[in-house]
Structure 1
Amino acid sequence: MTFSPTLRPDCSKCFAVCCTALGFARSADFAIDKPAASACPNMASDFSCTIHQRLRPRGFSGCTVFDCFGAGQVVSQRTFGGTSWVKDPESKSSMFAVFKVVKQLHEMLWYLSEAEQRAFDPELAATARQLTMDIETTSQGEASAVLAADVGRLHAEVRALLMEVSEEVRASYGAEGRKMPDGGIHPGADLMGANLAKKQLSGSDLRGAYLIGANLEHSDLTAVDLLGADLRDTRLHGANLSGSLYLTQPQINAARGNRETQLPERLTTPAHWI
């Protein structure tokens, strides 16, 4: 049977790889320092989180933002055949290294899925499908094959495609060159703390923009390219993001919103919004 990796995390099928492989420093997002390749002290023996329901009040909001795009269960159950790094300590370094690569591959698959669906040009859609197949094959390979993948090349190819599809989708909204009083809406714009409430932003390019603490309440972000935009503490109450481009769950988890915030179908409303 052909394996089709899910892009949604299933922690019940993972060996808490993200809670172990990755490190973090004590900050507003994490209450403690944790070196990479070390188990989080909040991890239980069955790989569950002992404070999962209390992460934010306990100072671990960074954990609630993180999303592996389903890489954890794929690496745990497929690449390493359901044998954990606890049962096979020698697999630990390899498993963690593979996880970091597969997470990148799955994030690319997330974007490609949307690009294929929204492309107007059949050739762009076909390119997205081919890239998806290539990356799926790589992510499903043996550990050595995953680690040998040319992730940089794949990133470049995917990025080029995403930009072409973005230009297609945004073109119909006539937002090219749209200016704002603070200097303009453009890729990489510094809009930290900006007041963009109740704005018609449809078709704008905010790829890689800094929107930390910005106010986008009740604004229309249909076909707005948000690839890599920093939405930490961005106020999205009542905003329409249902048709935005390249939005991810981690971006939404890092933002602030409410039940009135309209999200793309494949994203879920974060628990801390409610």
Structure 2
Amino acid sequence: MSLFSFSRQCCRTAFSSFSQIRNFTSTSVSLARRNNVSKIRIPSKKAMAAKQKRRAAKAALKMGKIERLTLKDAISVLRAVEVDSPKSMFELYIKTEMGNGVAVPKGRFKLPKEVRAGSEERILVFAEGKLADEARKAGAHIVGGLELIDGIVNNRIRATTYLCTSPLIRAITPRLGRFLGPQGLMPSQRRGTVTDDIPSYMNRLQGTSEWKADKRGNIHMPLGKMNFNTEDVIKNFQHFMLSVKQATGNIKDPRAKKDGKLPTIISKVLLSSTQGPAIRIADY
């Protein structure tokens, strides 16, 4: 037997005996790992909710430590920042907490001192008979009954405001609820857009503008220019906040009917400027 053949045979013998002595696929460590895979703990819904609640509490504690200023002090600070920019604007930011099934906050306002020209309104009214005639006389752009539904769903008919009389609200809701609802345009009793007194509502619309939060509940609104005096900015702030509180249910609108819904939480109110920081307002 050659030396090469003898060496090769020894290697085969050693390898076979080694593999019989130690099988890596069945060691105690590998078996323990396999057993632990099936024992991985999946958090329950209750545990996940508790974890999210703890995170929210930590975030609220962190935000609570941020210094808050009164509206008047915040205006003074932003004026100092924008001293070289007289054309800068005061910008208001409001954060509302959007839960499941909560409609996007939306409302109308008219600032005591206007900042920008309002956009042109286009009003559609669902009404029939005598109520339809009253709506046309009041200045509604589009007036009709159930025949308008197909045009609205297919985007052939568009409006900025949708009103509906009480006899037709149940008939239009099944088809238009899912279409106009996510846009915040569906007529509702809470917002006062379901009414049989169309002329009175139309009169309230004259000279007003509409505000609307985004899908996350954020509201942005210019409050005034740097050359506005402090009292004008404060009045604009108070007037707009009143509209937001009424739309979110934090202040009851005497014109709206009771619906039993809980108010939408207003978690943050910030005032900023074009080049200045965002300051959290304490007195709103």
Structure with higher Rg: it is 2
- In the superposition, the TM-score normalised over structure 2's length comes to 0.24
1 or 2 for the larger relative contact order (CA 8 Å, sep ≥6)?
Answer: 2
Structure whose residues are more often strand by fraction: 2
- In the superposition, the TM-score normalised over structure 1's length comes to 0.25
